[in-house]
Amino acid sequence: MVNIFIARHGQDVDNRNGILNGHRDLPLTEKGIAEAHQVADLISAAKLHFDAVYTSPLLRASETAAIITTVQGGPMPIKEDLLIERDFGIMTGKKVADISMLCASDILITDMATYFLEPFGAETFPDLLKRSRLLLDKLEKLHPSGNILLVAHGDIGKMLYAEYYHLHWEEVLMQFHFGNCDLLLLSADSPASASHVFQIR
């Protein structure tokens, strides 16, 4: 059996400035670096070891993965394009505070975030579910057992969770916030309700 851990990257420059990043590729802030060290230390304290580490190709994720694996002394991160964040289409680079105004009724509002659903050029959440299935199938073939770490992003991370546990994407968006450097576990031995391993605050 394989256990799949998903870490979201630390805070990056766009996160700090309230900008929708998507495929924008800016580095971690000092806070983001500290968050990555915090989750790395928690992973070490829990005596978690990874047989393989995969990271989104975007800088904020690869920097987070590098910090975790340096602290862990584990395998070098492998870049995996299927882990890249959702393409935000025309919302890329817009202000988070402007989502409701720019996307009008095409949004989903939760306690922690406002999600835009189908702006021009953006991947939809069903699109992300399909991408998630491709990645999960790929990992199943490569790793029949062991612990795997994926360092990714908020939207794709939540859709990996949804696809693994066969949950509806809208339900998952409403269910929980996947914060910077939070860690999730996807495992046949762990129910969906117990997936949060660490939440960094």
Residue 13 is assigned to a ligand binding site? yes
User: CA of 49: how far to CAs of 40, 142, 146, 169, in Å?
Assistant: 11, 17, 9, 30
Residue 12 is assigned to a ligand binding site? yes
Q: What is the full per-residue pLDDT of the chain (201 aa) written as tens digits?
A: 899 999 999 999 999 999 999 999 999 999 999 999 999 999 999 999 999 999 999 999 999 999 999 998 889 999 999 999 999 999 999 999 999 999 998 999 999 999 999 999 999 999 999 999 999 999 999 999 999 999 999 999 999 999 999 999 999 999 999 999 999 999 999 899 888 887 876
Q: Report how many domains make up the chain.
A: 1
Per the domain annotation, does 47 fall within a domain? Answer: yes
User: CA of 191: how far to CAs of 32, 184, 196, in Å?
Assistant: 29, 11, 10
Per the domain annotation, does 65 fall within a domain? Answer: yes
Residue 15 is assigned to a ligand binding site? yes
Residue 24 is assigned to a ligand binding site? no
Per the domain annotation, does 40 fall within a domain? Answer: yes
Summarised one tens digit per residue, pLDDT across range 33-44 is 999 999 999 999
> Which residues have a catalytic role annotated?
9, 85
Residue 11 is assigned to a ligand binding site? yes
pTM of the entire predicted model = 0.97
Among the listed residues 167, 146, 192, 123, the one whose alpha carbon sits nearest the alpha carbon of residue 54: 146
Query: The domain that contains 18 carries what CATH number?
Result: 3.40.50.1240
Per the domain annotation, does 53 fall within a domain? Answer: yes
**If DSSP codes are grouped into helix, strand and coil, which group holds residue 198?**
strand
As given in the structure block, the two tokens for residue 198 are 């660490």
Q: Provide the residue range defining the domain that includes 44.
A: 2-87+123-198
Q: How far apart are the first and last CA of the chain?
A: 31
Residue 8 is assigned to a ligand binding site? yes
Summarised one tens digit per residue, pLDDT across range 48-75 is 999 999 999 999 999 999 999 999 888 9
